[in-house]
């Protein structure tokens, strides 16, 4: 059975009312990874997500008889994991509901990981970012081609991949060309998809993405990278609201202050050196 067939089977499974406490979530089953979104757009995407959850919460609070579209759940080793509907699940929790409508099917973890990527790239009330779609397609292609060791299986084609993930033909061609050249052992764990163990498309595609030379442990360089990402995210959210002229002026002002602070630090260090007390040692 293909991943697409497993997902279709899940979508037509009988709807059940499951206790919220019985459902589990896993990062590996959530393809809406915020790190895939450009820094300038992350704040906006998070805001849209919060608004979407808030709207669903208000809908649920209007009447106990109202139900949202069932979440999709994979039964993996006797555990129930949400693979599609994390925002709906959050809305049910915030609305104080005790149960949630769900469709459930048993499947392996690998199937669940890939099915979650397929499910979330379809038509949604809150569409995934283009970068998230591209990464989902990249992970899917790596899985079905045995990481580039074989071609597309009989049930797949460039056309089906384009349709399922909403990406371009050229992107699919670049991915298929790139796959055999990637070795996951060359990448630190933080650059890998937690479900597939395959490097993210953004990092393998972009030279100098900041991950290639990192070690698997939390080195000073890795800590700096994380801090820089957080800072870039905050700055990006502010710049997104500014005019181009104001944005350029603000960056110039920050650069000038950084240079001045560096010069001041040098001056202070020099003054401290020459101000050391005379010890009489010559």
**Is residue 197 scored above 90 in pLDDT?**
yes
* Helix residue ranges per DSSP H, 185-275: 201-205, 220-239, 244-274
Q: Ranked by mean pLDDT, which of 27-31, 47-51, 102-106 comes out on top?
A: 102-106
CA dist 212 and 209 (Å) reads 7
Name the pTM for this structure.
Answer: 0.73
What pLDDT is recorded for position 41?
Answer: 81
List of E strands, 71-213: 71-76, 79-84, 99-106
Question: 216 near 188, Cβ under 8 Å?
Answer: yes
For the chain, domain boundaries? 3-239
Q: Is the pLDDT of residue 183 over 50?
A: yes
pLDDT-based confidence at residue 251 (cuts at 50, 70, 90): confident
- Cα angle 115, 116, 117 (rounded to 5 degrees) comes to 90
Tell me the fold of 3-239.
3.90.1530
State the Cα angle at 162 between 11 and 73, rounded to 5°. Answer: 20
Tokens encoding 9: 């089977």
pLDDT of residue 51: 94
Task: Calculate the dihedral angle through the C-alpha atoms of 212, 213, 215, 221, rounding to the nearest 10 degrees.
Answer: -120
């Amino acid at each position: 059975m293909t991943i697409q067939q497993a997902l279709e089977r899940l979508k037509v499974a009988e709807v059940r009312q499951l206790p919220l406490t019985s459902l589990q979530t896993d990062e590996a089953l959530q393809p809406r990874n915020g790190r895939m979104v450009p820094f300038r757009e992350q704040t906006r995407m998070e805001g849209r997500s919060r608004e979407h959850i808030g709207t669903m919460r208000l809908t649920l609070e209007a009447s106990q008889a109202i139900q949202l579209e069932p979440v999709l759940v994979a039964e993996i080793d006797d555990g129930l994991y949400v693979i599609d509907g994390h925002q709906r699940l959050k809305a049910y929790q915030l609305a104080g509901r005790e149960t949630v409508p769900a469709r459930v099917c048993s499947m392996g973890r690998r199937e669940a990981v890939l099915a979650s990527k397929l499910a979330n790239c379809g038509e949604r009330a809150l569409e995934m970012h283009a970068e998230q779609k591209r990464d989902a397609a990249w992970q899917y292609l790596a899985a079905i081609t045995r990481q580039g060791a074989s071609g597309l299986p009989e049930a797949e084609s460039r056309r089906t991949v384009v349709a399922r993930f909403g990406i371009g033909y050229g992107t699919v061609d670049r991915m298929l060309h790139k796959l055999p050249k990637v070795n996951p052992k060359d990448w630190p764990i933080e650059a890998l998809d937690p479900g597939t163990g395959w490097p993210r498309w953004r990092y393998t595609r972009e030279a100098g993405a900041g991950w290639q030379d990192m070690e698997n442990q939390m080195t000073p360089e890795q800590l700096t990278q994380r801090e820089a990402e957080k800072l870039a995210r905050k700055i990006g959210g502010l710049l997104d609201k500014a005019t181009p002229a104001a944005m350029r002026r603000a960056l110039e002002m920050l650069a000038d202050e950084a240079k001045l602070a560096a010069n001041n630090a040098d001056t202070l260090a020099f003054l401290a050196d020459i101000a050391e007390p005379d010890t009489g040692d010559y």
